[in-house]
Amino acid sequence: MSFIHPLGKVPVLNWLYSGMLMIFIMVAIGGITRLTESGLSITTWDPIMGAVPPLNASDWDILFDKYKASPEYLHKNAGMTLSEFQSIFWWEWIHRQWGRLIGLVFLMPFLWFWRKGYFKAGIRRHLLGIFFLGALQAFFGWFMVYSGLADEPRVSHYRLALHLSTAFACIVWIWWLVLSIREKVVAYRPPELNPWLLATTCLLIVQIALGAFTAGKDAGHASNQWPLWSDHQFSPSLFGFQWNMLWTNESWIQFVHRSFAYVLVLCTLITAWKAHKLRWRHPAIGAMPWLILLQFLLGVLTVLTGVNLGLALAHQLLALILLLALVYAFHPGKRGIAA
């Protein structure tokens, strides 16, 4: 069943691919913004004039004075020079402008394709849903930043997880539509494999959220050793341990994230092995063992290097690639999506 007029299939697919690429780049820019601690450099949200960068020394002084009144400057970066401020300002500014550009790249062709009659009824509500989810994701971005402008110079790791998860949800939704429009024939998936695919996907989603917690709390710096936590400890100290420390304490958040990785790796490898035993050939399944092992290695290296920016960024982006591979494996192929 087709959801796109034949004349619109190629331009619509190119548009959706472009949207996926832009969101992927957005996740990368967001990761750099977080890892360089640039996210709190712009203390106001101006949807219109905020797109205009500082044009002269007076503009820079105004922005720097606003930043000097923020908790991050007062408690963490007191004495920062204007040039140092500019180095963190630009990453946050680029992050916000790229988000605006994504909105325009989605909305303008969407209206044009709708006017041309390329969209059939079954796909319109999905595209509208993606648009509103993207708008919600942008709101969550400011909601996250706002949490770091009140008292503690650090964004809420809960809000960071929400912001990142909605970005992942947007690109996954677009990918599902792309697969539906392409209508590629895939080999029949044995039903015995479905619980394992579902379990692997759910575990990966949880692990992505734990990774966001780790980033939001700067928990990646809690330990730089592996496989032990320290020279003589398997885990953080159990003295005074309380259950809520698993999601509030930096050390325990990192420990849970790295421990959960073993479960995810094992489940992924079992899923790939079962697919092999059932003789189900799918490109995503074939790639999954290599992707998960590389992801695990990147996680270990990120810990050992004290959160090297390049390794940490690759670790985050590969998690998204792995999620897209699982969605590809889940997609029913030529049956498409419900109209």
- In 3D space, the residue among 86, 87, 97 whose CA is nearest the CA of residue 138 turns out to be 97
pLDDT of residue 186: 66
Are residues 57 and 163 located together in one domain of the fold?
yes
Are residues 200 and 160 located together in one domain of the fold?
no
Give the global pTM: 0.90
Are residues 202 and 317 located together in one domain of the fold?
yes
Q: What is the token pair recorded at 243?
A: 């259950």
- In 3D space, the residue among 185, 206, 197, 167 whose CA is nearest the CA of residue 271 turns out to be 197
Contact 321, 287 (CB under 8 A): no
Alpha helices in the chain (DSSP H): 9-35, 57-68, 71-75, 82-116, 121-147, 157-182, 194-216, 245-248, 250-277, 283-304, 309-330
Q: What is the token pair recorded at 138?
A: 């942008």
Are residues 53 and 191 located together in one domain of the fold?
no
Are residues 170 and 251 located together in one domain of the fold?
no
pLDDT of residue 336: 35
Question: What is each CA distance from 81 to 42, 54, 71, 93, 149, in whole angstroms?
Answer: 15, 16, 16, 18, 20
Q: Which domain holds residue 337?
A: 187-339
Distance CA 148, CA 156 (A): 7
194-216 and 309-330 helices, crossing angle to 10°: 150
pLDDT of residue 6: 76
Are residues 168 and 117 located together in one domain of the fold?
yes
Are residues 53 and 67 located together in one domain of the fold?
yes
Contact 127, 170 (CB under 8 A): no
Are residues 156 and 198 located together in one domain of the fold?
no
pLDDT of residue 267: 96
Distance CA 84, CA 142 (A): 23
Question: What is each CA distance from 160 to 57, 130, 141, 300, in whole angstroms?
Answer: 33, 20, 8, 22
Going 284 to 290 to 294 to 295, the CA torsion angle's sign is positive
Contact 42, 148 (CB under 8 A): no
Contact 266, 178 (CB under 8 A): no
Are residues 195 and 122 located together in one domain of the fold?
no
Could you report the average pLDDT of every consecutive run of 10 residues in the chain (339 residues)? 74 94 95 89 78 88 90 87 91 92 92 89 87 91 85 84 94 93 75 93 95 92 92 87 90 95 97 93 92 97 94 96 94 52
Query: Which residue, 168, 183, 198, sits at the end of a domain?
Result: 183
Distance CA 296, CA 238 (A): 26
Give 201's Cβ-side CA count (13 Å radius). Answer: 20
Question: What is each CA distance from 157 to 145, 147, 268, 318, 336, in whole angstroms?
Answer: 11, 9, 27, 21, 36
pLDDT of residue 339: 34
Distance CA 160, CA 141 (A): 8
Are residues 215 and 178 located together in one domain of the fold?
no
pLDDT of residue 4: 76
Are residues 76 and 196 located together in one domain of the fold?
no
Other C-beta atoms closer than 10 Å to the C-beta of 327 total 17
pLDDT of residue 338: 36
pLDDT of residue 337: 38
Are residues 167 and 39 located together in one domain of the fold?
yes
Angle at 212 between CA 211 and CA 217, to 5 degrees: 100
Q: What is the CA radius of gyration of the chain?
A: 22
- Residue 119, φ and ψ in degrees, nearest 5: -90, 130
How many domains are contained in the chain? 2
Contact 39, 218 (CB under 8 A): no
Q: What is the token pair recorded at 123?
A: 């796909």
**Terminal CA-to-CA distance of the chain, rounded, Å?**
9
DSSP character for 53?
P
Query: Which residue, 146, 168, 183, sits at the end of a domain?
Result: 183
pLDDT of residue 334: 53
Query: Which residue, 183, 214, 230, sits at the end of a domain?
Result: 183
pLDDT of residue 255: 95
